[in-house]
Structure 1
Amino acid sequence: MCTSFVIYSSNTFIGMNFDISKRPIKIVLKGDNQFVVLQQEDGQFLPAFGVNRNGTFVNLLMVQPNEEGKYRRGKNCVHIMRLFEEVLAEKTDVSQLKDYLNEKTIVNVPNYSVHSLIAGKKQNSYIVEPGRENLDIDSVKENFMVLTNFPLSENKSKNYEEVEGFGSDRYKKAYNLLLKNKDYFNDTIGFSILKETIQQDGDYPTQFSMISVPEENAVYFTLNGEFHKIFKFSFMDKVIRTDKGFHHKNEMPLSTKGVLLSKLESW
């Protein structure tokens, strides 16, 4: 049910495996500067993760619920979907997020329990866990952060090999590979880590894998674990195009209407 990471090397590299039951999924251009992936649930498309032109990434990963993180209204309460939208729209700058999180109480939306990796350039990264402690890149000893589907804040005092919870196997694998490659990293290594942490069996197969490189204004992605075929989206011209491993070149502009992954699968 999703693996994500950010690492600061020669560039910023943000990785994500989107693991979810089979359903329509589409990519849209929102606000002219946001690459957002939506998944269909109960007849409507809901956001799962996205990255903006400035390179800031936000996701919403399922995690076990806790009472303190349940939706409620209050003067300083902000639900995590609003945080998602504000950060991607740059209404809340990631460089100011530490103060924002200290001033606000982040809660879930009704009937959901999620936590988020918010990653930007210049060592600005946070893990936001409604009802639990929020973490930032300064609170970890490495130049990277990993998030899967267990409460990371409840395991922060443990060695990475000792963490427990849903998705801890993927966390350990990703963490170990990032640790081995932390001094030299590129998008190829990033995709190899995503390949090692995909889910091919069970109810939540990996349907989309991406590496975002903010310094290149680009998002590279694959579909259905086919890592030999890589697409590229550029914020420079807002076009999705074939990049590597395809028999024929193809491209299309990304619009607010979006494109279903099923259409891209035919390229």
Structure 2
Amino acid sequence: ALEKRNLVIDGFVITGASKRGWTSWLTPVVDKRIIATAPIVIDTLNFRDQMKHQINTWGKYSDQIIDYTSKGLIVEGEESEREKHLRLMMDPYTYRQQLTLPKLLINGTNDQYWVVDAMRFYWSDLVGPKYILQVPNAGHDLGEGVEYALQTLAAFFIHAATGKELPKLDWDNTKDFEVKLTSSSKPLQVRLWTAQSDDKDFRDSKWTSTEVPLNGSGYLAKINKPEKGHIAYYLEAIYTINNIPYSLCTITTSK
């Protein structure tokens, strides 16, 4: 069929959710035919730090990973050499210097598996072109946000297949309750998404958005500090490619 259509396939873009997202991270390490990857709802690179973060934030591990915790597969104390070897072999973070291909990370803001700001333990260490899509008010299955996610996934596939550039986002979230965003191409709109929680557990929180106006050469979002409790926030920039609307986001910050 390929010969009849005069087509030559010399590369692949892969994607998948949850454990398939895990596979979408690991497969490019060994198969160089893969030219781009889009892991979905596997926001847990740097396993050991992530598990400590769950304990520090929630006081316990997510109930969603009980298949692992109930069998003692997550070691809190000192690991044996075999345990360490197994963890490093399975953790995509181990291969971050090899994973230089374009990557789109798609996550739900209310994923029951992961802490809302889990990405801070690995994002800055990822090498090569990298993009984020946060799906607001979506859990591990992305729920009603699937179509929203597919639009950005389509833009990413177009980028990988044709070389058509996606915007490069840069942001500074080092100042409390403030995010500065710049983009290599002007977005149609930038929105600030926020959610509040009494106890740093944002899994059941409601996310709402407000538009952020252009401020000089970029966008400056100032977040109202809550009188009590905690707040999480990120920015979304909206674009189009081939008349398809899609979004790219910053990492989520929790205060």
> After TM superposition, is the score higher than 0.5?
no
Which structure has more relative contact order (CA 8 Å, sep 6+)? It is: 1
Q: Name the TM tier (shorter chain).
A: under 0.3
More strand as a share of residues: 1
More helix as a share of residues: 2
**TM-score normalized by structure 1?**
0.25
